[in-house]
């Protein structure tokens, strides 16, 4: 025991904080890399259903998002209360899908274009009529890889 007491009594070395910025920078870079900023504000209310057979969407740059749901309250005067489709950050008609897909496709390197996935974020209460019309439009535009966005089901 006396061994420890001796050392403690002699000096009070201050902890060096010189490496603190480096540690913080390391954390900073980590978060900078993993951050995905939300690129579009949602104008429709989307609450996706839960499922078990889920696949992760790996490459964000290869994914385009189609939101389907009822317009949110502040937009209901303008767009009504029946479910609508949102492409990018505006509520659109189904006819706008080919142009939307083409715009996204143009920004993807040619080699990776076969991997483009459309993520359908559909509210659980939407009826299949609108969803089917959108699926048909996607098929016409030759966008066949789609992903029904869903939450993880906890049983």
Partner 1 sequence: MAKERLSNEINAGSMADIAFLLLIFFLVTTTIDVDKGVLVKLPPWSEEPPETLTLNKRNVFSVLVNADNALLVRGEPAEVGDLRERAREFIRNPENRPDLAEKPEKAIISLRNDRGTKYSTYLEVYNELKAAYRELREDEAQKKYQKSYEFLPRDKKKEINSIIPLVLSEAEPTDFGAE
Count of residues engaged in binding partner 1, rule: CB under 8 A: 54
Which residues have a Cβ under 8 Å from the Cβ of 105 and sit 6 or more positions away? 113, 116
DSSP structural state of residue 87: E
CA–CA distances in Å: residue 51 to residues 15, 48, 126, 148, 149: 51, 9, 16, 10, 9
* Interatomic CA distance for residues 83 and 113, integer angstroms: 30
Segment lying near partner 1 (by CB under 8 A), choices 5-13, 55-63, 72-80, 106-114:
55-63
Q: Is 59 in the site for partner 1 (CB under 8 A)?
A: no
- The token pair at 130 is 């609108």
DSSP structural state of residue 41: -
Which residues have a Cβ under 8 Å from the Cβ of 31 and sit 6 or more positions away? none
Question: CB of 61: closest distance to partner 1 in angstroms?
Answer: 13
Residues 128-147 that bind partner 1 (CB under 8 A): 128-132, 135-136, 138-140, 142, 144-147
Of 109, 127, 154, 155, which one interacts with partner 1 (CB under 8 A)? Answer: 127
Residues 32-51 that bind partner 1 (CB under 8 A): 32, 34-38, 48-49, 51
Residues near partner 1 (CB under 8 A) are 17, 20-21, 24-25, 27-28, 31-32, 34-38, 48-49, 51-58, 63, 117, 119-120, 122-132, 135-136, 138-140, 142, 144-152
């Amino acid at each position: 025991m006396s061994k420890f007491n001796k050392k403690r009594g002699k000096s009070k070395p201050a902890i060096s904080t010189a490496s603190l910025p480096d540690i913080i920078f390391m954390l900073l870079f980590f978060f900078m890399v993993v951050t995905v900023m939300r690129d579009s504000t949602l104008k429709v209310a989307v609450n996706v259903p839960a499922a078990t057979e889920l696949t992760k969407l790996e490459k964000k740059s290869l994914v385009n998002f189609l939101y389907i749901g009822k317009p949110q309250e502040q937009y209901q005067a303008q767009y009504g209360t029946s479910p609508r489709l949102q492409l990018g950050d505006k509520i659109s008609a189904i006819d706008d899908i080919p142009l939307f897909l083409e715009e996204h496709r143009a920004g993807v390197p040619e080699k990776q274009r076969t991997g483009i996935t459309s993520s359908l974020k559909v509210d659980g209460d939407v009826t299949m009529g609108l969803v089917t019309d959108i699926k048909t439009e996607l098929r016409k535009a030759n966008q066949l890889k789609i992903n029904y966005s869903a939450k993880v089901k906890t049983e």
